Amino acid sequence: MSEILSQEQINSLLSQKELTGAAAGLSDEPSATSQAVKDYGALTKVFELFNEQASTVISTILNKQVSCEIVKCDKTDKATVHGSVGSPQLLLTIPFKTGESRPLYCVLAKKDAAFLSDLMMMGDGSAAYTEDHKDAIIELMGQVMGSFATALGGKFNEQVGIDPITPAEFDFASPAFPLETTDMAIVKTTLAGGSACQMLFLMPDELSMELMNKMAKASRTEGTGRDINEGNLMGGPDSAGLAENPAGQGGSDSFVETSLSSNSLRSGASHENIDMLLDVELDVFIELGRTNLSIKRVLELAPGSIVELDRMAGEPVDLLVNDKVVAKGEVVVVDENFGIRIVSLVSAEDRIKSLR
C-alpha cells in the first residue's frame, strides 16, 4: 500500500482536526454554534415591551409624562456597566418566573432611587437617599414589573410572574454574581422637563437565552400567522408554494383566512385569560379601629365590657384588600346590613408607608 496520502485524504484529516479542536474549545475561531446562540435583537424587543409598560405605569404613579428608551442591549461589558449608573448603587433582585424562577437584577444609583421615590411621595425629587426610599422604589418597580410580566405573558402566550423584590447594596468591584455570565440592558427614563435617570438590568445567560428564544418565536408567529417551528411556513418571502393547498383551492384568500383565524384564536385566548382573573376572589376587610390590651385585660373581658378603639367617632374606616389599605369609607346601612361608602382612595404615599 502506498504511504503517500491523496489530496482527498488530506482534506478529510484536516476537517476532522478542525471539528475536534472546535469541540475541545481549541479552535482559533469560534464555532458556528457559539456565534449563533444569542439573538440580541430579540432581547431588545423584550425591553421595548418593558419600556412601553414602564412609561405608562411610572407616568400614572408620578402624574408626569415619562418616556423610556433602550441605551444598550448586549453582552455584559464591565467598562460599560461601570459608567451606566452612578455610585453608590442599589441592587433589586427580581425573581422572574417563565416556566421556572430565575433572577433578573436591576441596578440603579441611590440618588436616582431617592429622586423617583421622592416624586412618588409628592416631593420635588430633591430629597437625599434614606432607607425609607427602598420601600418606595420596590413599590414602583413592583408595579412596573407586574405590568411587564402581564404584557410579556400575552406576548409569549403563557403565564409569566414576578415574585417579591428584594433590595441590597451593590458594588461592581465585588458583585454577588458573576458579571461575565450575564447579558445587560440599559434603560434611560426621562421625565417631562428633562430630568433623567438610568437603570441597568443584568440577566444570567439562562434567563436571557430563554427570553430571546421565546421572543423570537413569538415574532415569527406574529409575522407568519403560525409558528414556523411547527412546519407551517406561511407568509415569508421564501414560502411561496410551501403552504399546502390540496385541491388548488383558496389561493391567497385561503392564506389570509388562515392568518386571521390564527390571530383571532390568540386574541380570544388572551381575553379568556383576563376573564379568568376577573373571577379570582380576594379577602376584603373593613377595619373600624384597633387597640392594645394586656393579657390580664383580655382575661378580664366579660359581656358588657367596653373596649376603646384608636379611632374617633365618625372617622372613616379602612377597606383592606389582602391586608393592604386601598380605600377609606363611611359606615352605612344597606337593607339592614352594614356596608361602607367609599370616600377616598389611598394615595401612593400612604401605600408605601403601609409597607413599613
Question: For residue 238, what pLDDT is reported?
Answer: 42
pLDDT band at 219 (very low <50, low <70, confident <90, very high): confident
pLDDT above 90 coverage of the chain, percent = 21
Residue with the bigger pLDDT between 76 and 253: it is 76
Instruction: Transcribe 286-335 into DSSP letters.
Output: EE-------HHHHHT--TT-----SS-TTPPEEEEETTEEEEEEEEEEET
Q: What is the longest distance spanned by two Cα atoms in the chain?
A: 115
Q: Which helix (H) or strand (E) holds 59?
A: helix 40-62
Return the pLDDT at 273. 54
Interval 26-33 mean pLDDT: 39
The average confidence (pLDDT) of the chain is 76
Question: Mind giving me the DSSP string for 1-41?
Answer: ---PPPHHHHHHHHHHHHHHHHHTT--SS--HHHHSS--HH
Tell me: pLDDT of 285 over 80: yes
CA distance 115 to 125: 4
Note the pLDDT of residue 174. Answer: 85
Residue 276's pLDDT band, with cuts at 50, 70 and 90, is low
Question: For residue 51, is pLDDT > 50?
Answer: yes
Ramachandran quadrant class, 101 (left: phi over 0; alpha: psi -120 to 50; beta: rest): beta
- Return the minimum-mean-pLDDT range out of 89-103, 150-164, 234-248, 283-297: 234-248
Q: Is the pLDDT of residue 31 over 60?
A: no
pLDDT tens digits, one per residue of 291-346 = 998 998 889 888 888 888 888 877 888 888 877 888 888 888 887 788 888 888 77
Here the cell at position 189 is: 427614563
- Greater confidence (333 vs 91) lies with 91
| CB 66, CB 190: distance < 8 Å | yes
pLDDT over threshold 50, residue 259:
no
Task: List domains and CATH numbers for the chain.
Answer: 40-213 (3.40.1550.10), 284-354 (2.30.330.10)
